[in-house]
Amino acid sequence: MGRHRTDEFDGGYQSQQPAPRRRATGGGRGRVLVPLAGAVALAVLLGVAAFVIFNRDHDCSGGRLALRVVATPDIQPALNKIAGTYNKALHSIDSRCVEVSVAKEAAAKTANALTAGKANADVWVADSSLVVARLRGEPAAEAALPEPSGSVATSPVVLVTAKSAAPKLAGSLKPSWVSMIAAANVANPDGPGRKVRVLALDPQKNSAGMAALLAAAGSAKQAGQGKALVGALKELSGQLVSDPNALLASLTVKSGSRVPVGVTSEQTVYVHNTKKPDAQVVPLYPAEGTLSLDYPIVTVTKDPAVQKAAAAFQKELATESARKVLRGQGFRTPDGQAGDALSKDKGFNPEAPEALPAPDAKTVASMTQTWSRLNLGTRMLTLLDVSGTMALPVPGTNMTRMQAISKIASEGLGLFPADSEIGQWAFSTHMDGQGKDWIENVSVGPLSETVNGVLRKETLNRTLQPKATGDTGLNDTIKAAYTEMSKTYAEDKINTILILTDGAGNDDPDGGVSDAQILSFLKKTYNPKRPVAILLIAFGPDAPKGKQRMDALAQATGGEAFIAKDVLQVRDIFLQAMERRLCSPKCDG
């Protein structure tokens, strides 16, 4: 019979029959112990290798390497939690263990610090690339501030209202940017604004506010609603909220019959509902799509070692464990994936909304300028024609020209907020003694201010009586008004002279300033650095005859002239005039 192998370590097999008993010898022991010793040695070597590899990546022999991250308050808690886990794992760079700290600071504050070269940060996580693009657009910051190297997370900007009020919106407001513009348009008092009150985040202080402004402007342009946009922006500038939390809190407070609707990020909605279960709000996803906060990563440090640490931590932020933390706090991944926090049963749409095209730096800069100009206060002197022709009837109406012009003035006045500074002169001939063709009825000041016991706005709304024997001393009045408004120019406001007339032009039998002289005076006096624009509105059958001369007067000051065909058209006229704020003082070239 053949010999059975009993050494299983040699790769053999054991017989089903028991092997004959043998007397142990020294040689037999060696055959077993030598392979065993080899296995132990292999295990030790593998352990040493693992220890070496582990310590190569977690070698703190060179001390600590601090990485200072500054992030916006909304994402700082999530990043801080990720950093805590990261620090415990002892990740090292060149024998120094990275120690990440995450401080919270508003994006605008960090941006200002970076511009001044005083930012205490190695890595900046802003809430939006819009902030970074705007900052890099400044000559002093472009060279010092690198492009973002990636995105930490995203959160779509959405419309939002109280959960209890949402059913009331079904017939009043379709969730869209164009509908929001229609509701906020100050020149459309009969629109959805009767039932909906729109609140806005200050775009100069909040990235979600700027993103909403850009999304609304793009949608309005696409829909051909440019004038409505201007009317909406003008209205919203007086209803701004600087803090998203304050905006959301105000949505659940009953105030009047109109349903309040605001804008904010989806993640802010989640946090609010988590903290205030008894004051729930719901996101409304715009039909056109939206822009998102994208939390860009900008490495600010110039230190090579810290730059390596920043790159390593950025890789950590892209891991599934880190993204799980972010999704758990209401954020989406950079590609829009949501977690359980944004489930349907909590009022969210887990599917990412359609993304509108991201605006470039030029568009952001242009919109910032647009908002700044439209947000400027108003300082306006109204010149109201009270010459004899204003007593004539307007064909097809039961009004005189004076009554029609007064109604136009009242309609226009309703478009201006209470802090607007407006005054009024009446003009004809010999209004205040021989040779003086104007008289001050109301001094320029805030509409909400009381003058002789009556609100300035109420005084301005009074209908004047035409001077039966009066001619039209327009040129002398313009010269005096332009001199006064130039002398009292307000840097923080749009300075305007509004002329309301029947369009008959200058008719001064006593002479005074000629047409050529007034044009020469305006061109010489107009200062593009301190612009006072003339806005001229004419109404009545004689208005078209003087259009050419009206245009010349207005254009000499960067203004514009209009002929109103009906009283209500004045709303559009005033919006067109407001649009000129966007290009002033170079609107025509």
Sign of CA dihedral 112, 114, 120, 122: positive
**Through-space distance between the first and last CA atoms of the chain, rounded to whole angstroms:** 113
Instruction: Look at residue 55 and tell me whether its pLDDT is greater than 50.
Output: no
Distance CA 144, CA 523 (A): 43
Confidence of residue 503 (pLDDT cuts 50, 70, 90): confident
* Listed residue (95, 57, 93, 106) closest to 301, CA to CA: 93
440: left (phi over 0), alpha (psi -120 to 50) or beta: beta
In this model, does residue 46 exceed pLDDT 70?
A: no
CA gap 124, 69 in Å, rounded: 6
Q: What is the pLDDT of residue 376?
A: 79
Q: Strand 493-501 relative to strand 532-538: parallel, antiparallel, unpaired?
A: parallel
Instruction: Give residue 99's pLDDT.
Output: 97
Comparing CA positions, the residue from 476, 472, 447, 484 lying closest to residue 538 is 472
pLDDT for 116 beyond 90: no
Flag whether pLDDT at 482 surpasses 50.
Answer: yes
576 versus 491: the higher-pLDDT residue is: 491
Per-residue pLDDT at 585: 54
Q: In the prediction, which pLDDT does 51 show?
A: 40
pLDDT band at 589 (very low <50, low <70, confident <90, very high): very low
Residue 105 has pLDDT above 60, yes or no: yes
Confidence (pLDDT) at 35:
52
- For 301-348, how does the pLDDT look when each residue is reduced to its tens digit (9 = 90+)? 999 999 999 999 999 999 999 999 999 999 999 999 999 999 999 999
Phi, psi of 69 (to 5 degrees): -105, 130
Residue 34 has pLDDT above 80, yes or no: no
Highest mean pLDDT out of 15-19, 222-226, 374-378: 222-226
**Average pLDDT of the chain, as a whole number:** 85
Query: What is the pLDDT at residue 19?
Result: 45
Q: Looking at 192-291, which runs of residues are DSSP E strands?
A: 196-198, 200-201, 240-241, 259-265, 281-284
pLDDT tens track for 435-469:
799 999 999 999 999 988 899 999 998 888 999 88
The β-bridge relationship of strands 560-563 and 438-446 is unpaired
pLDDT confidence band for 581 (50 / 70 / 90): low
For the stretch 175-187, pLDDT in tens is: 999 999 999 988 7
Residue 88 neighbours by CB distance under 10 Å: 8
Interstrand relation of 560-563 and 532-538 (parallel, antiparallel or unpaired): parallel
- Would you state the pLDDT for residue 178? 94
Phi-psi sector, 65: left (phi>0), alpha (psi -120 to 50), beta:
beta
* Neighbour count for residue 340 (Cβ, 10 Å): 10
Residue 481's identity, in one-letter code, is A
3-state secondary structure of 496: strand
What is the pLDDT averaged over residues 355-372? Answer: 85
Is pLDDT at 214 greater than 70 in this prediction? Answer: yes
Radius of gyration of the chain (CA): 37
DSSP symbol at 543: G
Of 293, 355, 290, whose CA–CA distance to 132 is shortest? 293
Is pLDDT at 104 greater than 90 in this prediction? yes
Pairing of strands 96-104, 64-71: parallel
Confidence band for 143, pLDDT divided at 50, 70 and 90: low
- Evaluate if residue 264 carries a pLDDT over 70: yes
Helix (H) or strand (E) holding 440: strand 438-446
Q: Over 60: is that where the pLDDT of 16 sits?
A: no
CB atoms closer than 10 angstroms to residue 545? 13
Lowest mean pLDDT among 244-253, 368-377, 433-442: 368-377
More confident residue, 586 or 293: 293
Residue 584's pLDDT is: 56
E strand intervals along 58-190: 64-71, 92-93, 96-104, 123-125, 155-162
- DSSP bridge pairs for 69: 102, 123
DSSP-assigned beta bridge partners for residue 162: 281
**Mean pLDDT along residues 508-520:** 86
Side-chain half-sphere of 67: how many Cα atoms within 13 Å? Answer: 30
Tokens of 225: 């609603």
Residue 231 has pLDDT above 90, yes or no: no
Q: Is the pLDDT at 260 greater than 60, yes or no?
A: yes
The mean per-residue pLDDT over the stretch 477-482 comes to 96
The arithmetic mean of pLDDT across residues 83-106, rounded, is 95
DSSP state of 154: B
Report d(CA 385, CA 500) in Å as an integer: 6
pLDDT: which is higher, 295 or 419: 295
